Structures are given as structure tokens and as C-alpha cells.
């Protein structure tokens, strides 16, 4: 869609939402839905993330970075990362990751427009790190809220440049001419309003309201933001980042921002300089953790220290061992049972490499199985549709529960054929599946199911053995947790 003819805040917000950043808009909506659901848990947030392999890898990289993991053990699973970081941090990471993916996806942009875009993103990330530093005495949730607010302040402008449209190229030409002739900021803002019918700030305001980005983001974009400590910190971080990452830096304005930051923190100029350098170094690590290392050069940092690559390639077998070890530790840590289930699910899904994994729990009357934990494509539909009766009919799931036997059904026509009910025939793939009972002291409480229905890799003996190990370890963990003195 062409941007020609678009004029005014409403038109640009609609265009950005529907054509430039629909995936980011939907990601924000999904996270907001989970946040509003009183019955949702951190483990459910983990399940929502797990099917996206790229996002899973980035969350683990970030959870193990110095920004979040100071001297702790390596985080192996999404479930552990979610519990360690908390909802607001994970929400911010998901939104940041999706935003960077969207904004940096196209390398074939007009070079001048692309430079504006990447400078803007680099400033926003540095502003986020600066505001977290200024709010270091506040709780982690507040720091994450204001990091996100710093990032979203420039969302409207970033989305506009990302369009790489004729309008964007024309406006860039006008702004470059104005910059070269030392025209005022007010003059440049007038050029934007005359061409677009709105300001970049108004675009960001409209997106924040339309996408429900939260009270803190919306308050930071108000025409006259509150002058409390938190908002002052955000505005100083935003202003200083713009001076630190600029084609036309203003040394005097930079010094003014640094002086105000010194007053806010109650420290002298040398300490302020060290804190800024620390933030710049942290931003470098964060950019690399997000897979956006190409932004590092725009930080203009002298003698930068590039972080060691924390993402070590881990084989499936090594990942399985790490998660099995985590399950063992959970038995003595007295963690939430939901976390045990989610870690087991993640171990089977990521460690063994399955396409679908479900953990069923018995209904109260023990006459049915309902999926409680799900990973895989269309996980929402799987959770709604994959309910199995075991009281009225003899089927393979019922047989596994009664016999406490792990089963590899190789196809709908193997030796288990007579146990494949019409419902299982519809719900399970012809290529086969694994099942095994969850049990505590010889009493079945549920069942674990896994398949490779996409057909990229066939089921084989090694995977079945690994599947059994995970279910056995989960059963041991549950038994230990329910009977700690047994």
C-alpha cells in the first residue's frame, strides 16, 4: 500500500497498525490478554513463547546476559527464565524482540532513510538502559516499565521510516537540507507536520492508545508529562541518548543532560561519565543478545568491549541432560508443580525435538483426560479439542494409564490398532506418537503425549527412550514433592 494521501494522526496509526507492524500489534495484544487473565500463570506465558524457536533462543540469551543474570547459574529453559525474570521483563523482551525483527527486516531501503531508522532504534535501546540505570533503586518491574516506555517513545517515527515509502524518502531529503543549513528543531518539526498532518510524537501517542501499551507508556507520551522523579528520569535518558547518538551532536546540550543526571543521582561528573559508559557497554551486550549486533557501531563508543558470545551451541542430548538436571533440583527446591510440568514439556519439545507435546490431567471423576500444558502449532485449538474419554470406552490412553506402560504407537495400523478409537484416529497422526502415564506412588494422575506430525523427522528408538526418561524424572519429582519425607 502506498503512503501517498495519508494525512493526520488517525490515518497514520491505522496504516502502521495494519500494514507496517501488524505482527508487533498482535504480539502486544496477546501479551495483554495473558496479563488480564486472572487464571493465567507464568507457565502459560512460557507456553505462549515456546512454539517460537527464534524468540525462545533470544529470551534464553537475554536471561543469561549480564543485564539480567548476575552471577547466577545458566538458565536453560524458558520456564525458568519466565520465573526468574517475571512477567513484565518477559513482556518487554517479547515486544522488543518483535519490534527489532519488524524494523530491521528489510536491508534494501534507501540508505539515508535506513540510517535514520537504525540511529533511532539505537537511541531507543540506549535510552532504555539509561533509564534503568537512573531507576536502579526502584524495583525490577518499574525499571522494565520505563525501559519499555523509552523504547516506545520513538515507535511512530521508527515505523514511518521503516515504510521506506516515497513520502519517507521525500521527507528525509527535506530534513537533511534543513539540518545542513542549521535550521531549528521547531522548523524541522514543522516540515513533518506539514507533510504528514501530524507529528511523530502524535503517531506514537496514537499507537500507544490503540495497542494498549500501558499507562506508563501513554503517560510518557502526554503533551505535558508529569514532572515526578520517574518521568524526569525517562526524559533525561531520552534526551541524553539523542545527543550521544547523533549525526550532528550538540556538546553543550550533552553536558546539560549530564549535569541534570548528576543532580538526580546525587553524584559528580566523573561518576556520571562512568555510569554512561556502563550503560553503553550494557547496550552493546543487549543488542548482541537480541541479534541486532549491526546497531553497535552507531553507539559511537571508543574502546568498546565486545561481549563473549554467550550462546553456545548445545546439542539435543546436552539440552536434555540440563533440563533433566533442572527437574531433579526442582524436587528439593519446592517449586510450583506447574513449573515442573512446563519444564518437562519443554524438555520433550525442545530437547527431543517433537512437533506436539501435551500433558493431560485426569478429570475429578477420573473418567476423562484434559490437556493442561501444550506446546506445538495451533496449541490453543489442541487444548480445546484434544479431550479424551477413558471411562466409557477402551482406548490406548486408558490402557497406558491402567497398565502404567509407556507406549510407542508406530501407526494407526500397528499392534495397537484395536485400541485406536475413532476420536484418537481423528486427533493423532498416522505417523505415530508416544504416550506415557504420569503417576505418583502407582496412582495415575495424567498422561504425557508427543508426536512429530509435521513429518520432518520420523519417530525413532532414541527419542522414545529420551521421552521415557523425561516422564520417569517428572514422576520422581512429583512423588518427592508430594511426599518430601518419604
In order along its 486 residues, the chain shows pLDDT tens digits of 578 889 999 999 999 999 999 999 999 998 888 877 655 566 667 777 887 878 888 899 999 888 887 666 788 888 888 888 888 999 999 999 999 999 998 778 999 999 999 999 999 999 999 999 999 999 999 999 999 999 999 999 999 999 999 999 999 999 999 999 999 999 999 999 999 999 999 999 999 999 999 999 999 999 888 889 999 999 999 999 999 999 888 999 999 999 999 999 999 999 999 999 999 999 999 999 998 999 999 998 876 555 554 444 456 888 999 999 989 888 787 778 888 999 999 999 999 999 999 999 999 999 999 999 999 877 767 888 899 999 877 899 999 999 999 999 999 999 999 999 999 999 999 999 999 999 998 899 999 999 999 988 999 999 999 999 999 999 999 998 887 766
**Burial (CB count within 10 angstroms: exposed 0-12, middle 13-18, buried 19+), residue 198:** buried
Place of cell 554512561: 276
Measured CA to CA, the distance from residue 392 to residue 282 in angstroms comes to: 60
Closest CA to 427 of 453, 398, 460, 394: 453
Measured CA to CA, the distance from residue 343 to residue 332 in angstroms comes to: 15
Torsion of CA 402, 407, 409, 415, to 10 degrees: -70
**Burial (CB count within 10 angstroms: exposed 0-12, middle 13-18, buried 19+), residue 426:** exposed
Place of cell 506514537: 204
* Angle separating helix axes 251-265 and 229-244, nearest 10 degrees: 150
Measured CA to CA, the distance from residue 74 to residue 252 in angstroms comes to: 43
Measured CA to CA, the distance from residue 133 to residue 143 in angstroms comes to: 8
Alpha-carbon distance values, 341 to 43, 44, 77, 186, 473 (Å): 9, 11, 12, 57, 11
**Cβ-based neighbour number of residue 274 at 10 Å:** 11
Contact (Cβ atoms closer than 8 angstroms) between residue 90 and residue 59: yes
Measured CA to CA, the distance from residue 477 to residue 469 in angstroms comes to: 12
Amino acid at each position: 500500500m502506498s503512503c501517498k494521501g495519508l494525512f493526520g494522526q488517525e490515518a497514520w496509526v491505522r496504516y502502521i497498525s495494519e500494514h507496517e507492524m501488524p505482527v508487533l500489534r498482535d504480539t502486544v495484544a496477546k501479551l495483554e490478554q495473558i496479563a488480564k487473565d486472572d487464571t493465567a500463570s507464568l507457565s502459560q506465558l512460557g507456553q505462549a513463547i515456546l512454539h517460537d524457536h527464534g524468540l525462545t533462543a533470544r529470551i534464553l540469551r537475554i536471561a543469561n546476559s549480564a543485564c539480567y543474570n548476575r552471577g547466577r547459574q545458566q538458565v536453560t529453559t524458558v520456564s525458568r527464565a519466565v520465573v526468574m525474570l517475571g512477567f513484565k521483563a518477559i513482556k518487554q523482551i517479547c515486544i522488543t524482540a518483535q519490534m527489532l525483527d519488524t524494523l530491521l527486516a528489510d536491508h534494501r531501503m534507501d540508505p539515508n532513510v535506513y540510517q535514520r531508522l537504525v540511529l533511532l532504534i539505537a537511541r531507543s535501546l540506549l535510552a532504555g538502559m539509561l533509564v534503568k540505570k537512573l531507576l536502579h533503586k526502584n524495583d525490577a518491574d518499574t525499571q522494565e516499565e520505563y525501559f519499555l516506555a523509552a523504547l516506545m517513545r520513538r515507535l511512530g517515527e521508527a515505523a514511518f521510516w521503516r515504510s521506506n515509502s516515497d513520502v519517507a524518502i521525500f521527507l528525509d531529503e527535506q530534513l537533511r537540507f534543513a539540518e545542513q543549513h542549521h535550521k531549528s528543531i521547531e522548523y524541522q518539526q514543522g516540515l513533518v507536520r506539514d507533510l504528514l498532518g501530524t507529528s511523530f510524537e502524535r503517531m506514537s501517542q496514537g499507537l500507544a492508545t490503540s495497542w494498549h501499551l500501558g499507562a506508563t507508556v501513554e503517560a510518557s507520551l502526554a503533551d505535558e508529562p508529569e514532572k515526578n522523579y520517574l518521568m524526569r528520569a525517562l526524559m533525561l535518558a531520552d534526551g541524553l541518548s539523542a545527543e550521544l547518538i547523533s549525526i550532528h551532536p550538540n556538546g553543550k546540550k550533552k553536558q546539560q543532560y549530564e549535569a541534570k543526571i548528576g543532580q538526580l543521582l546525587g553524584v559528580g561528573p566523573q561518576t556520571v561519565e562512568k555510569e554512561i559508559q556502563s550503560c553503553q557497554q550494557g547496550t552493546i551486550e543487549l543488542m548482541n543478545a537480541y541479534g541486532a549486533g549491526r546497531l553497535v557501531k552507531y553507539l559511537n563508543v571508543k574502546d568498546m568491549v565486545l561481549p563473549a558470545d554467550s550462546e553456545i551451541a548445545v546439542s539435543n542430548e546436552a539440552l536434555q541432560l540440563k533440563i533433566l538436571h533442572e527437574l531433579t533440583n526442582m524436587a528439593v527446591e519446592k517449586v510450583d508443580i506447574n513449573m515442573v510440568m512446563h519444564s518437562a514439556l519443554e524438555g520433550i519439545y525442545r530437547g527431543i525435538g517433537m512437533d506436539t507435546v501435551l500433558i493431560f490431567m485426569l478429570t475429578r471423576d477420573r473418567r476423562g483426560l484434559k490437556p493442561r500444558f501444550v506446546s506445538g502449532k495451533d496449541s490453543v485449538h489442541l487444548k480445546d479439542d484434544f479431550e479424551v474419554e477413558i471411562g466409557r470406552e477402551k482406548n490406548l490412553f486408558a490402557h497406558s494409564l491402567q497398565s502404567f506402560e509407556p507406549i510407542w504407537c508406530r501407526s494407526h495400523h500397528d499392534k495397537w490398532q484395536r485400541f485406536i478409537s475413532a476420536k484418537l484416529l481423528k486427533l493423532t497422526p498416522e505417523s505415530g506418537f508416544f504416550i506415557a502415564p504420569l503417576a505418583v506412588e502407582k496412582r495415575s494422575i495424567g498422561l504425557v503425549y508427543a508426536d512429530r506430525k509435521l513429518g520432518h523427522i520420523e519417530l525413532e528408538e532414541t527419542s522414545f527412550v529420551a521421552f521415557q526418561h523425561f516422564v520417569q524424572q517428572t514422576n520422581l519429582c512429583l512423588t518427592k514433592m508430594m511426599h518430601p519425607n518419604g
